[in-house]
C-alpha cells in the first residue's frame, strides 16, 4: 500500500517591521520608459528565451527518474538529485537484481 505524501508545512509569516526612516529615492537614476531602446539590455526577454529558461528551471526541479517536480529531493554524494522515494525504490530494485542475476 502506498501512503499519501505529507504536505510540506508552511512557516508562519513574520511581522513586517518597516524601518523608522525610509530615505526618499533619487529620480536621477530612474530610466524613463520612452528612453529605453528596444535592443537595450534592459528590454524584455524574447519569448523563446523565456521558454528556454522555463524549460531549464522545470528540468532542474524535476526528478530524472519520475519526471515530476521534486517533493522530497535527495542529493547523492556525486551531486545528482532525485526524488527520495524514487531513488530508494531504484536502489532496492538494483540490489535485488544483483542478488538474483538472470
CA-nearest of 53, 91, 94 to 74 is 91
- Asked if residue 85 lies in contact with residue 93, where contact means CB atoms within 8 angstroms, the answer is no
CATH number of the domain bearing residue 59: 3.30.40.10
Residue 53 domain-assigned (yes or no): yes
Domain that holds residue 71: 47-99
Is the entire prediction scored with pTM above 0.75?
no
H/E element, 84: helix 84-99
Question: Which pLDDT score is estimated for 57?
Answer: 86
Weakly modelled stretches of the chain, pLDDT under 50: 1, 22
Task: Tell me if 1 is assigned to some domain.
Answer: no
pLDDT of residue 80: 92
Residue 81 has, within 13 A of its CA and on its CB side, a CA count of 12
pLDDT score of 85? 95
State the pLDDT at residue 92: 93
Report the number of distinct structural domains present in the chain.
Answer: 1
**What's the CA gap between 4 and 2, in Å, rounded?**
7
71 lies in some domain: yes
Q: What is the pLDDT of residue 89?
A: 94
Residue 93 lies in a domain: yes
Amino acid at each position: 500500500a502506498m501512503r499519501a505524501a505529507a504536505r510540506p508545512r508552511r512557516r508562519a509569516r513574520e511581522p513586517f517591521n518597516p524601518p523608522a526612516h525610509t530615505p526618499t529615492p533619487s529620480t536621477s537614476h530612474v530610466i524613463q520608459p520612452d528612453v529605453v531602446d528596444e535592443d537595450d539590455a534592459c528590454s524584455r526577454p524574447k519569448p523563446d528565451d523565456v521558454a528556454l529558461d522555463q524549460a531549464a528551471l522545470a528540468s532542474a526541479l524535476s526528478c530524472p527518474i519520475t519526471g515530476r517536480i521534486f517533493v522530497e529531493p535527495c542529493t547523492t554524494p556525486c551531486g545528482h538529485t532525485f526524488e527520495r522515494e524514487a531513488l530508494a525504490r531504484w536502489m532496492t530494485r538494483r540490489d535485488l537484481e544483483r542478488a538474483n542475476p538472470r
